[in-house]
Amino acid sequence: MRTERPRGTPIIQVTELRKEYRMGTNVVPALRGVSFAVGAGEFVAVMGPSGSGKSTCMNLIGCLDRPSGGNYELDGVEVTRMDPVTLADLRNRKLGFVFQGFNLLPRMDALGNVMLPMVYAGISGRARRERAVVGGQQQRVAIARALVNSPSLILADEPTGALDSRTSLEIMAILQRLNADGATILLVTHEAEVAAHCSRRIVFRDGRVVSDEPIVERVSATATLASLPSEEAAA
């Protein structure tokens, strides 16, 4: 079971985190001294344009890469200079990952591309929907997989990116329920509509955090789903 932590207890603490990549003789800074904390029970959206540093930061937080400088504590443990074996063990015990497209579908427009031949083939809207919703079932499995070790932190990378709007809401409703039960979630998204379901928004640009603010009017995915027409009517 997930270890209960008082809400607000730091799960993530990054201080002046830097990451540089070498390309020949050039040094390309991806993160330029990023500092922030995420407390237990928070549901944080990480946003920013391509190349802003958000994905680099998530890789570091996920212990999938090492910083060039600065410090990172995960659930009170300094991980910056851990050896690879210890780091892998910590990652397996402390982190749960939900990837965009559950690592099976490409990004964002993939679902529409998959459904397009069905439109041309004259397959009904209901049948297209039934085939498309398989992705939602797979993402639910991915979420269950992320929870199996009762992690301290769930990292979700574009978890709705390959899904239609209704299934996206269903996935966000699941994540909101997990958060209400105490899960700490960090979610990368480029969609403002998805970020609106979180409790806080951190925005990256040019390797820096340019804004970090609470989401005052948080959207309930469950309530939005309840207001939609039934699937039968939509078909």
* pLDDT of the residue at 100: 64
* pLDDT of the residue at 45: 97
* pLDDT of the residue at 142: 76
Hey, what amino acid is at 229? P
Cβ partners under 8 Å of residue 127, min gap 6:
118
* pLDDT of the residue at 126: 61
pTM over 0.75: yes
- Whether 98 maps to a domain, the answer reads yes
* Nearest CA-CA partner of 179 in 38, 67, 59: 38
Rounded to whole angstroms, the Cα distance separating 77 from 94 reads 10
* 95 in Cβ contact with 155 (< 8 Å): yes
What CATH number has the domain bearing residue 145? 3.40.50.300
- Whether 123 maps to a domain, the answer reads yes
DSSP assigned state of 114: H
Q: Which residues of the chain have pLDDT under 70?
A: 1-5, 100-136, 231-235
The CA-based diameter of the chain, rounded to the nearest angstrom, is 60
- Whether 212 maps to a domain, the answer reads yes
- Whether 2 maps to a domain, the answer reads no
- Whether 1 maps to a domain, the answer reads no
Number of domains making up the chain: 1
* Nearest CA-CA partner of 53 in 202, 164, 173: 202
Hey, what amino acid is at 192? A
* pLDDT of the residue at 120: 39
| 33: number of Cβ within 10 Å | 14
- Whether 234 maps to a domain, the answer reads no
Query: Domain containing 177: what range?
Result: 10-229
* pLDDT of the residue at 29: 92
Q: What is the DSSP string of 132-195?
A: HTHHHHHHHHHHHHHHTT--SEEEEESTTTTS-HHHHHHHHHHHHHHHHTT--EEEE-S-HHHH
pLDDT tens, residue by residue, 215-232: 999 999 999 999 988 765
What's the gap between Cα 177 and its chain centre?
A: 15
Cβ partners under 8 Å of residue 207, min gap 6:
29, 30, 31, 32, 34, 52, 53, 56
- Whether 3 maps to a domain, the answer reads no
* pLDDT of the residue at 110: 41
Return the structure tokens found at 19: 């990451």
DSSP assigned state of 89: H
- Whether 62 maps to a domain, the answer reads yes
Instruction: For residue 39, give the 3-state DSSP assignment.
Output: strand
